[in-house]
Amino acid sequence: MKRAVFPGSFDPITLGHQDIINKGLRVFDEIIIGIGENSDKKYMFSAEKRFEFVSTTFDKIKKIDVKCYSGLTVDFCKENDAQFIIRGLRNPADFEFEKSIALTNREMTGIETVFFLTDSKNSFISSSIVRDLIKNKGDYKLFIPKGLSI
């Protein structure tokens, strides 16, 4: 069984995240969406609320499990018997940032990172843009999964 972890803060989940997860479903038998908790980060939404957003988005897909975690992603992968990490790429800057993390993770643990390119229609979407729209009462619903209530 090929099991992968898709880690992120999902603060909140966006159409870009959903796009990457849907691509991963075509490759992996199971995906664990790992909602990271970093005490150095300031989140707009609590871990419980982010868990709810992600769970609601994928509640009908049996190949997906949603869990919260803290600490290193590779430790979370080992705890969950995942051999792969999924990462999404929107642009060349994402690749350069993610490449060094992927190489470090592989060197430490042998866990491989698989990169998926976002569809061009989602390549500009980020959680920080969505948070800014929410704060300023913009139409953020254009950029989050359908049916999600924030």
Active site residues: 17, 41, 90, 127
Question: Which phi and psi (to 5°) does residue 27 adopt?
Answer: -110, -35
Tokens of 21: 């997860």
Question: Which phi and psi (to 5°) does residue 88 adopt?
Answer: -100, 145
Secondary structure of the chain in HEC code, one letter for each residue: CCEEEEEECCCCCCHHHHHHHHHHHCCCCEEEEEEEECCCCCCCCCHHHHHHHHHHHCCCCCCEEEEEEECCHHHHHHHCCCCEEEEEECCHHHHHHHHHHHHHHHHHHCCEEEEEECCHHHCCCCHHHHHHHHHCCCCHHHHCCCCCCC
Tokens of 147: 């049916």
